Structure 1
Amino acid sequence: MKFTRMLTTKLTSFWLMSLAAIAFVFLLSAMMSFVQLTYKFQQQKVAELETMLVDQYQHQPDWDLEAWLPPMLLAYNAVDFRLTLKDEVIFAYEGNLTTQNAMVYDHVLEPKSGLRMQLTLTQPFEHYTFSWYEILILLVGVLAVAALVRFGYLWFSQQLDGIEELALRSRLILQGKHEQALATPGNGKPRLINRALTKLLEELQDAQKERGRFDKFIRSNTFLDAETRIGNRLFLNNRLDALSHNQAMLAHGVIYLLEMDDLDLLQQSQGEAVTKELLNSTVNAISQLLQTQANSIFARRSHNQFAIVVPQISLIEADQFASKLLKICLSQPLPEVDNSDNFFHLGCAYFTAGDNAAQLIEEADMALRAAQLQGNSNWFMYDKGAIDEEFAKGSVRWRSFLENALVQRRFFPFSQPIIDSDGNEHHKEIFTRARDNQGALIRATLFIPMANKCGLMPQVERQIIERVLLLLSNELAGGVSNTQTNKKPASQIYSINLSLDSLMSRAFTQWLKTTLLEYRHLTTRLIFEVSEDIVIQHQEKLQPKLDMIRKMGARLCVDHVGQQVVGTYYIRECHFDLIKLHRSIVRHIHLRPENQLFIRSLIGGLYRTEVQVCAEGVEVFEEWQTLQILGVGAAQGMYFSEPIEAK
């Protein structure tokens, strides 16, 4: 834009100088014409006087010059006049005018007789004065010329401004800022080009939305059940793999198997419409109940069987939730069929960290068969004996532990590197760990659900952000010291996870804004991560908070991408810089072509954007190799490094 503006200034200056030169030449020509005309008029008067003198001399030898010549010389503004005949002065005249630049006319009137005239006149324009009428005409002319020049300058500038607006929109398009270019159509000229750009940008926006819908359609047909629009069996297997490591569950929770025993008979007797209505009403009711459970899984395993996985839940809460599920199922309007009281059965299997993931479905299936043997619609919990004391802490004990940990600042950041395709470290993700009174580490999967229930997550994340900023400050100070010793300064980048409670807390966001302003020299080395399901459900409320973080200089990342089957257009709307694929998509990616299709579709939908795609949970070389082939630029996981305490 600087070059365009400079060119505009030069063109305008050249145009004005051209007009000024034309006006100057015009005025100079008019002045020269005026001077030449006055001299010629004076010469004509002198010639007329000579003619009169010659005529008087030839026809009236006794001419009386004193009678008529002085008044004429006075009218001519003569300075002096001398008429001689053979060196004899016949008539002399001295006027009362004086001049320095006189016009002298010395002409021989009659060569034979020697009649000679010497006439001295003033300059023809020396005694000329402008009248008010002439001055008015001249002033009107000058003002008219100035007005026309001003009008031409404004018109020319307006036309060039229109070209600059077109150049600005073109620059935004080349930078990939299509939404901003579409939002500022302006008054670019030529208007035909401006309208063409607007139409093309609108069609491009529609094409991007259509591409997003198409990508969602591909993923839907891969991971969603076509009839109920919830996860299918493949989706369930991926999510269970993500909740486990080497077939060992990473946290505690419960898995439910819900079966509608006589669904086939209902479909034969009542028709598909009634069956579909029952399925949709039951699925919608269960989905609403699962909204209160974070990271829950709901999938259809077969025609009449559904699986529900709820992590981070205690055994008592699992029993209560089973009762709620069965109550919801029984509240559905069931058509009159045989054994309508024995239609819904629910089998439950509670698991803890380290339990074998492959046995969970078997245990839940055994519990389901036990519920069916009891008769009538009911639920049954598979009994595995005592539960680890670590999971039996009540809400009161957890609140006391978390509050003491906050006061004593016993929350510590652990970091795990994210490696790019060149083998270099892109940044480090911060994980939170807590220490109890004995110094033992407590996993985030244990205390974060309780912190969310107790409303303490903003305080926990605030403490972690403070520790990370202190860590960056120390690294920066060390970098300055290294610079003095000719060593490369540190340039570490950290990503920090933000929860929904923190982002929705006005006090936390105000504190975060103040802190980022205070540490604005460090904000470019911070990345804030938000879970995809949070963004999808609360995009309108979170948009101002995310924009504030981005304007402060930090970058934005959305993680757990692929955990749900949703469109990806929110990535553009929220201006995310990075996305992280959920571990359920990455797990055994080299053996799952459907997951590869998902990643290809996702990366294709982000074409011509600067969004970087990363992967979580990479554990083996084959997974990382396949991800690189698919176009994923960075990854993290046990294959590269375990989380270590950031110091």
Structure 2
Amino acid sequence: MKFTRMLTTKLTSFWLMSLAAVAFVFILSAVMSFVQLTYKFQQQKVAGLETMLVEHYQHRPDWELEAWLPPMLLAYNAVDFRLSRNGEVLLAYQGNLSTQNAVIYDHVLEPKSGLHMLLTLPQPFEHFTFSWYETFILLIGIFAVIALVRFGYLWFSQQLDGIEELALRSRLILQGKHEEALATPGKGKPRLINRALTKLLEELQDAQKERGRFDKFIRSNTFLDAETHIGNRLFLTNRLDALSHNQSMLAHGVIYLLEMDDLDLLQQSQGETAARELLNSTVSAISLLLQSQANSIFARRSHNQFAIVVPQISLIEADQLASKLLKICLSQPLPEVDNRDNFFHLGCAYFTAGDNATQLIEEADMALRAAQLQGNSNWFMYDKGAIDEEFAKGSVRWRSFLENALVQKRFYPFSQPIIDSDGNEHHKEIFTRARDNQGALIRATLFIPMANKCGLMPQIERQIIERVLLLLSNETSVEGANLPTNKKSAPQRYSINLSLDSLMSRAFSQWLKTTLLEYRHLTSRLIFEVSEDIVIQHQQKLLPKLDMIRKMGARLCVDHVGEQVVGTYYIRECHFDLIKLHRSIVRHIHMRPENQLFIRSLIGGLYRTEVQVCAEGVEVFEEWQTLQILGVSAAQGMYFSEPIEAK
């Protein structure tokens, strides 16, 4: 680890410098002491020689210097010696040693008699040499120091590795990567701190999950029926508002009203248990059937009436689905009651884009009454005689149209700005439109369901991504060439929707990875959006795909948040950067305190994270004002701008 190596190197260097300084002081002191002692010892020997000479001169006039003085001078390693009296040389000695740095002692021994001595000696330590024993002791000391330093380095490294692991976990916590910090406890030291961090992270994870369960509890009590656990009347109203604009439906589809006429009589005669079992079994079977219908709505309008809305379905498929729904109802184990054959009734109303949403409920209710008048369990379709001709195309014709549009590259990106709370453009969301041979635009609500059925969504989204990257490349070159540095605006960012088929396609994932690597200088300006229901149903399979996109440098967004009653813990687990509230939550938010409660709870659960909350489908100023008060950071919708073709 870089920090550990750096800190260990610094501590070891400081330790070595300290040891070297101490050793230098000791060696310097020893050398100085050795030099001083040898000089002092030599001086003592010279002083002793002088004393002997004076004593001999005073007590033995005959001297006899030649007998005893030369051997002594030889023992002194004298280079030269001269003893004189009043200028007369009494004894001269020349040694067999030569030296360049000699020490000369020129002393007057007896001032009265004029006795004078001139002695030349070599430096006291000039002929000193290390013996093998001394060399061996020195080497042992050096090796001991090296071993001690090595041991200290390893000990420091071991201790600092634990500190580094604590620092790594702390860095992950500060970055908001709590799951990763919990998954790598390591062997951090002090271990007490490491265990404390693990315990706090576990409690934080439990608290976050509990917060997610609490959010789901709030939404469940607000939008779900307590008995059947499907949507309630408020849930149905929100979803119908999301499918309409100014009371005009945005797409085609069908609405069913299912009524159990004698449910009250069944409850009175057979008891609440039998009625509840019939309700639960019927609801479960219908929910299982509706799983194959994308974006379908199933809600309870009253005690014995249910509403089913299936958007983007043809009239023929609506008839087939009505037959299946009635068949499921009739297959339920109905207790012995009067009029068993006249218990279930289904009213259907097919709608197209532009139909009035309020009138739609009335038409379905009229169809329900017509089914009840037939005298037995049956279904009835309200016929307005207005079927979307474009959607009436056969599957073969749609596949041919889509394939030709792909070959001729007739899918075009339309962009709608997302405005932040300061009134600035946060980014633009890309919507896909197609053109037919006459140049007319085909609505996405028409061709996307057919593209999903034909398995062509990966090719369509690939073409859109290529167009967006080309658009970003052109914008980058224009900005760099025309604008001065101090006047350049923030780089434009685009968000692109990805379908389940594209994310689950290995070929598309590999192409996307290669493309993002090729345009890595532009990936930071891309945001990929995934629908909430897709993430909830396929979270484990999508995690590697989403992680790859995030590591490539692009950002992640989950949209349609609030469309389904689910927990929000997946936002942290999938590391989304943005979330977009579904238009059913945003519509008339200023008049719906229950939706405001959901948004407050959602934003509160994302406290201390960098996740931004956006809203889609804002149509009036009051909605945007309320969203800003609640803490929503950005929004998009007709209030700001309509989607325009991106060029």
8 Å Cα contact 1:12-1:157 kept in structure 2? no
Aligned residues: 647
Cα distance change, pair 345–549 in 1 and its aligned pair in 2 (3 A): same
Cα distance change, pair 234–108 in 1 and its aligned pair in 2 (3 A): same
Cα distance change, pair 279–47 in 1 and its aligned pair in 2 (3 A): farther
Residue in structure 1 matched with residue 98 of structure 2 by the alignment: 98
Three-state SS of the structure 2 residue aligned to 1:492 is coil
Residues of 1 paired with 2:440 and 2:374: CA distance? 45
Of stretches 202-211 and 586-595 in structure 1, the one that deviates more from structure 2 is: 202-211
Of stretches 114-123 and 206-215 in structure 1, the one that deviates more from structure 2 is: 114-123
Cα distance change, pair 333–27 in 1 and its aligned pair in 2 (3 A): farther
Three-state SS of the structure 1 residue aligned to 2:487 is coil
Q: Displacement, 1:581?
A: 0.9
Residue in structure 2 matched with residue 274 of structure 1 by the alignment: 274
Of stretches 13-22 and 50-59 in structure 1, the one that deviates more from structure 2 is: 50-59
8 Å Cα contact 1:589-1:623 kept in structure 2? yes
Q: Displacement, 1:481?
A: 3.6
Cα offsets for 1:80-137 (capped at 9, x unmatched): 3344456554443321011122223345556666655443322111111111221111
Cα distance change, pair 82–268 in 1 and its aligned pair in 2 (3 A): farther
Q: Displacement, 1:266?
A: 4.0
Residues of 1 paired with 2:639 and 2:379: CA distance? 41
Cα offsets for 1:232-267 (capped at 9, x unmatched): 111011001111112121111111222333434444
Of stretches 547-556 and 51-60 in structure 1, the one that deviates more from structure 2 is: 51-60
Q: Displacement, 1:295?
A: 0.4
Q: Displacement, 1:346?
A: 2.4
Cα distance change, pair 137–3 in 1 and its aligned pair in 2 (3 A): closer
Cα distance change, pair 591–84 in 1 and its aligned pair in 2 (3 A): same
Residues of 1 paired with 2:60 and 2:265: CA distance? 152
Residues of 2 paired with 1:119 and 1:388: CA distance? 132
Residue in structure 2 matched with residue 455 of structure 1 by the alignment: 455
8 Å Cα contact 1:347-1:382 kept in structure 2? yes
Residues of 2 paired with 1:101 and 1:487: CA distance? 80
Cα distance change, pair 527–143 in 1 and its aligned pair in 2 (3 A): same
8 Å Cα contact 1:479-1:490 kept in structure 2? no
Residues of 2 paired with 1:256 and 1:454: CA distance? 27
Q: Displacement, 1:328?
A: 2.6
Q: Is 1:178 matched up with 2:194?
A: no
Of stretches 325-334 and 45-54 in structure 1, the one that deviates more from structure 2 is: 45-54
Three-state SS of the structure 2 residue aligned to 1:390 is coil
Three-state SS of the structure 1 residue aligned to 2:25 is helix
Q: Is 1:65 matched up with 2:65?
A: yes
Q: Displacement, 1:4?
A: 11
Residues of 1 paired with 2:115 and 2:404: CA distance? 134
Of stretches 50-59 and 288-297 in structure 1, the one that deviates more from structure 2 is: 50-59
Q: Displacement, 1:184?
A: 4.6
Q: Displacement, 1:499?
A: 0.9
Three-state SS of the structure 2 residue aligned to 1:258 is strand
8 Å Cα contact 2:352-2:386 kept in structure 1? no
Q: Is 1:418 matched up with 2:438?
A: no
Three-state SS of the structure 1 residue aligned to 2:486 is coil
Q: Displacement, 1:593?
A: 0.6
Cα distance change, pair 330–53 in 1 and its aligned pair in 2 (3 A): farther
Three-state SS of the structure 2 residue aligned to 1:438 is coil
Cα offsets for 1:5-50 (capped at 9, x unmatched): 9888766654443332222112111111122222233333334444
Structure 1 length-normalised TM:
0.91
Three-state SS of the structure 2 residue aligned to 1:477 is helix
Cα distance change, pair 420–115 in 1 and its aligned pair in 2 (3 A): same
Residues of 2 paired with 1:75 and 1:327: CA distance? 131
Residue in structure 2 matched with residue 371 of structure 1 by the alignment: 371
Cα distance change, pair 123–274 in 1 and its aligned pair in 2 (3 A): farther
8 Å Cα contact 1:166-1:189 kept in structure 2? yes
Unaligned runs of 5+ in 2: none
Cα distance change, pair 299–133 in 1 and its aligned pair in 2 (3 A): same
Three-state SS of the structure 2 residue aligned to 1:205 is helix
8 Å Cα contact 1:476-1:489 kept in structure 2? no
Residues of 1 paired with 2:487 and 2:85: CA distance? 111
Cα distance change, pair 292–26 in 1 and its aligned pair in 2 (3 A): same
8 Å Cα contact 2:8-2:156 kept in structure 1? no
8 Å Cα contact 1:561-1:582 kept in structure 2? yes
RMSD across aligned positions (CA)? 3.0
Residue in structure 2 matched with residue 78 of structure 1 by the alignment: 78
8 Å Cα contact 2:252-2:388 kept in structure 1? no
Of stretches 95-104 and 321-330 in structure 1, the one that deviates more from structure 2 is: 321-330
Residues of 1 paired with 2:591 and 2:171: CA distance? 44
Of stretches 54-63 and 300-309 in structure 1, the one that deviates more from structure 2 is: 54-63
Identical counterparts, % of pairs: 90
Residues of 2 paired with 1:502 and 1:555: CA distance? 17
Cα offsets for 1:519-544 (capped at 9, x unmatched): 22322222211111111111111112
Cα distance change, pair 57–262 in 1 and its aligned pair in 2 (3 A): farther
Residue in structure 1 matched with residue 591 of structure 2 by the alignment: 591
Residues of 2 paired with 1:406 and 1:620: CA distance? 37
Three-state SS of the structure 2 residue aligned to 1:62 is coil
Cα distance change, pair 75–320 in 1 and its aligned pair in 2 (3 A): same
Cα distance change, pair 513–67 in 1 and its aligned pair in 2 (3 A): same
Cα distance change, pair 388–84 in 1 and its aligned pair in 2 (3 A): closer
Structure 2 length-normalised TM:
0.91
Residues of 1 paired with 2:116 and 2:470: CA distance? 113
8 Å Cα contact 1:19-1:149 kept in structure 2? no
8 Å Cα contact 2:4-2:161 kept in structure 1? no
Cα distance change, pair 410–367 in 1 and its aligned pair in 2 (3 A): same
Q: Displacement, 1:600?
A: 0.8
Cα distance change, pair 82–470 in 1 and its aligned pair in 2 (3 A): closer
Cα distance change, pair 182–486 in 1 and its aligned pair in 2 (3 A): closer
Cα distance change, pair 388–118 in 1 and its aligned pair in 2 (3 A): closer
Cα distance change, pair 34–262 in 1 and its aligned pair in 2 (3 A): farther
Residues of 1 paired with 2:219 and 2:207: CA distance? 18
Cα offsets for 1:477-509 (capped at 9, x unmatched): 332342279964683222211111111111122
Residues of 2 paired with 1:123 and 1:258: CA distance? 122
Of stretches 200-209 and 268-277 in structure 1, the one that deviates more from structure 2 is: 268-277
Of stretches 558-567 and 56-65 in structure 1, the one that deviates more from structure 2 is: 56-65
Cα distance change, pair 486–598 in 1 and its aligned pair in 2 (3 A): closer
Cα offsets for 1:569-600 (capped at 9, x unmatched): 21122221211111111111111111111111
Q: Displacement, 1:455?
A: 0.9
Cα distance change, pair 338–31 in 1 and its aligned pair in 2 (3 A): farther
8 Å Cα contact 1:480-1:489 kept in structure 2? no
Residues of 2 paired with 1:128 and 1:90: CA distance? 33
8 Å Cα contact 1:549-1:555 kept in structure 2? yes
Cα distance change, pair 46–334 in 1 and its aligned pair in 2 (3 A): farther
Residues of 1 paired with 2:31 and 2:451: CA distance? 94
Residues of 1 paired with 2:284 and 2:578: CA distance? 32
Residues of 1 paired with 2:201 and 2:577: CA distance? 22
Residues of 2 paired with 1:489 and 1:270: CA distance? 72
Residues of 2 paired with 1:44 and 1:267: CA distance? 129
Residues of 2 paired with 1:481 and 1:39: CA distance? 84
Residues of 1 paired with 2:334 and 2:37: CA distance? 115
8 Å Cα contact 1:482-1:488 kept in structure 2? no
Q: Displacement, 1:449?
A: 0.6
